[in-house]
Amino acid sequence: MKPSPSRLLATLGASLLACAAHAAEVQVAVAANFTAPIKEIAAGFEKDSGHKVVAAFGPTGGLYTQVKNGAPFEVFLAADDTTPARLESEGEAVAGSRFTYAIGKLVLWSATAGRVDDKGEVLKRNAFRHLSIGNPKTTPYGLAATQVLDRLGLADAVKPKLVEGTNITQAYQFVASGNAELGFVALSQVYRDGRISGGSAWIVPAGLYEPIRQDAVLLARGKGNPAAVALVEYLKGPKAAAVIKAYGYGL
């Protein structure tokens, strides 16, 4: 005997309610350099878990300030390892939840093909008007850029030509728009499927700057949220790792 349409609808409705009861929303603070990867990771996570990711993007230092001022973030994906550790020590994050989800890589990039050579000699020639970097006080990639210039002995020579973005996204936009001929940005911003997606670039040797260890942490507000806990675990898994690697990060 076939069930009646009304009974089918009732069963479907009960199933949907059960799914809704188990689904939750997680508020995530994400360092600007990780904007594109987290969008892909979130899509897979939402499909697999039924939970919803609501992400806010910005410089790590700025996001830290928001957390301290009571922003409702439950997971924090920083562009360094010191900020999550600081939040943990201050009681703003769950002790023991911190882990490195990616190793960032710095690249000198121009939107113009052929402008940047594969050894970064363009910096020594100094034949450009503007060099874009992220604010070194709030963005780990900006700090890494200053370390590179110091170690190459070029800090004083290029200082008058530096233009600072409030975050690494703005530093990238200065170059992409042509307002700066070249700039130090995150490799993830210009890297797709194993190669630089456009323009010209020098992937900066890791020995020229301190490692950019990007740590994630479960914030105190997320401790009781199953979606927050599930996202942290998902970030450690193979599906997230594949996306992270595809954007040029180290693991």
Domain of residue 224: give its range: 23-103+212-246
Q: What is the pLDDT of residue 23?
A: 80
Distance between CA atoms of residues 210 and 145, nearest Å? 10
Q: What is the pLDDT of residue 12?
A: 37
Contact 59, 29 (CB under 8 A): no
Tell me: do 67 and 111 sit in the same domain.
no
Distance between CA atoms of residues 183 and 107, nearest Å? 8
- CB atoms near residue 199 (< 10 Å): 17
For residue 80, tell me if it sits in a domain: yes
Tell me: do 241 and 224 sit in the same domain.
yes
Q: What is the pLDDT of residue 22?
A: 63
For residue 173, tell me if it sits in a domain: yes
Question: Phi first, then psi: what are they for 212, rounded to 5°?
Answer: -95, 85
Q: How far is CA 124 from the centre of its chain?
A: 30
The per-residue pLDDT for range 67-107, each reduced to its tens digit, is: 999 999 999 999 999 999 999 999 999 999 999 999 999 99
Q: What is the pLDDT of residue 156?
A: 97
Distance between CA atoms of residues 247 and 193, nearest Å? 7
Q: What share of the chain is helix, strand, coil (3-state, %, to 5)?
A: 45, 25, 30
Copy the structure tokens of residue 75.
Answer: 């997971």
What are the C-alpha distances in Å from 214 to residues 81, 121, 224, 231, 233?
6, 28, 24, 16, 16
Contact 103, 241 (CB under 8 A): no
What are the C-alpha distances in Å from 58 to residues 31, 96, 106, 151, 230?
5, 24, 18, 28, 23
For residue 11, tell me if it sits in a domain: no
Domain end marker among 185, 203, 221: 203
Tell me: do 76 and 146 sit in the same domain.
no
Contact 182, 191 (CB under 8 A): no
Copy the structure tokens of residue 57.
Answer: 């993007």
Domain CATH code at residue 86: 3.40.190.10
Q: What is the pLDDT of residue 194?
A: 82
Local mean pLDDT, 10-residue blocks, the chain (251 residues): 45 38 86 94 98 96 95 97 97 97 97 95 95 93 97 97 94 96 96 88 96 97 97 98 94 87
Distance between CA atoms of residues 131 and 160, nearest Å? 9
For residue 162, tell me if it sits in a domain: yes
For residue 142, tell me if it sits in a domain: yes
pTM of the model: 0.81
